[in-house]
Structure 1
Amino acid sequence: ELQEAIQSFFSYYPKGTPTPSITPTAFNTPEMPIEALLIITPTLPATSTLLPTATSVDETPQPTITSTVTSTPLPTATAGPSATPLPTSTPYTEEGFQQSVADLSENLVKFGFSEDYYRNFIETQLLQEKIRDEIATDVSTSQTQVWARHILVADEQTANDVIARLQAGEDFAELAKELSTDTASAVQGGDLGWFGPGAMVPEFETAAFTLNAPGDITLTPVQSSFGFHIIQLVAKQERPLTAEQIEDAKDSALQTWLLTARETEYVVETFDFWRSRVPNEPNFVTAATEQASLQQTAQAEQVATFQAVTLTPIP
């Protein structure tokens, strides 16, 4: 597997180039809860109104002037030099692969590393991927999410006044448009859409997920670093994660496993041998300095040549 991974890095596939295939994740998209539709009415796209068609007025026909078009012969294109076709790519051979590996090894040596270091790096990556895939079998592809809207105000007294107005029967969306300092959601009646754990600040998330029935509001203001929130639950249900969210969940599960393993299951020893593997004077710094010096010398020579040409008196 290690050798195949190195070959793949150089796009060398002696057994044939693999054809990538996308396996869709099967899940049922949940239907919109009927309770949510009773709280928020979906906005239908506006339909264009047909304008009245202008009634044509009969006019006295005017004589038409027929123009005679004289065709002008176009200039004949003069044959020029034809482009030379580029060479077609040839299959990647074993010799080409070995040459690429040799070139990489040579570059690694310049920077103070060896080919064994590179192979160990690839092997570590493979092991990490295998551990991640094994742990990922327990990662859920769905999560409980809430659909909520909120009204954000600056102080607690204003928040309590908003709650009182809501309990008196005033419309949540209209109050959000009138009072919410979160201008981005205010124009949508405070609508925040669906979100899962970790998407909001902890105080807001806890309060939103505590609500149970669609239409319920927080009866006390929820304070966060943004101000005071009045939150209304529109819907709550189990919903599928996106492909990106699933990958994030796998990475998070791997990091959690590593932290737990280090603290409980395995004894991690730290050695100082890395000091002997770090060059005292990194070669890449020296190489970069030499390259910069060469560039400065070349530029100086160009300037000197230019001055010699422009300042030489013409006889």
Structure 2
Amino acid sequence: MKKKIIFIVGPTAVGKTKLSTDIANKFNGEIISCDSMQIYKGFNIGTAKITKEEMNGINHHLIDIIDGDQSFNVSEYKQLAENCIDKIYNKNSLPIFVGGTGLYVDSIFYDLKFTEAKDTSKLRQEIEKFYEDNGKEALYKWLLTLDYNLKDTIHKNNVKRVIRAIEVCISTNNRFSMQKDDYFKENNKYSPLIIGLNIDRSILYDRINKRVDIMLKEGLLDEVKYLYKLYGENSQPFTAIGYKEFVPYFKNEISIENCIENIKQNSRKYAKRQLTWFKKNKNINWIDTNTNYENLLENTCNIISNFLMEI
């Protein structure tokens, strides 16, 4: 029998945190984070990490699990998340995924396969060196010799994507395009319900701007200064919005005002990308959060109740 699981997804600042804990309380659930940056210890304010008070007594998984100098990928996430599902089910509780990292969601919802995780940083550096020495035309020709099927899906100007595809082809000894074959095949181990939260774009952007202001009042600058000294700009979590924008500020290349504006702008752009990603999944039940919260909670709970009663 397939295990029923719930997903609460949507862009940053749309209101996932409170709704998810209230749902977990009502349905005896435990929450599994699907946020690629909240896995890092110490990166709290800039990732809008849930606090102990906000958890409201609900068990949360895959938050604060590694240090900032460690690497992490979606393959590792999938393995850990599926282990969490089993543990939660063994306690007769309901697994509820919450977050906005689309690839993490897809790794569970779809039957995505990953090769054994391994360090390919040296290989990536060699590919990047080839690009620097030979240019994007030669780089693209190299890609097509490895996987000609990508000719219509990856443009030669998307150098970052081209490099990543070459890296995957070589490290896995398999075509990068074959990964796409796993998309749109639902994971037959689970019976999922995906609830997507959305709101008028202007309201969402205003929430994002205000959230950044609140983060600064809560001590974001001090947090980033400490983590920057501890891990440096080349650590994986310093690629995250809310952290990477401070690097040029620390180097006296931009003002603090420009730094803050960059965080807000990049956060708004990220929210747009999140929505674009999730809109591709036609299985999502979309709910507008611009309503009375009690109505929002009731509507969401009704959807979940009907889903759980299905045989």
Do Structure 1 and Structure 2 share a fold, with TM-score over 0.5?
no
TM-score bin (small chain): under 0.3
Instruction: Name the one with the larger helix percent.
Output: 2
Higher relative contact order (CA 8 A, sep 6+): 2
The normalised TM-score by structure 2 is 0.16
Structure with bigger gyration radius: 1
The normalised TM-score by structure 1 is 0.16
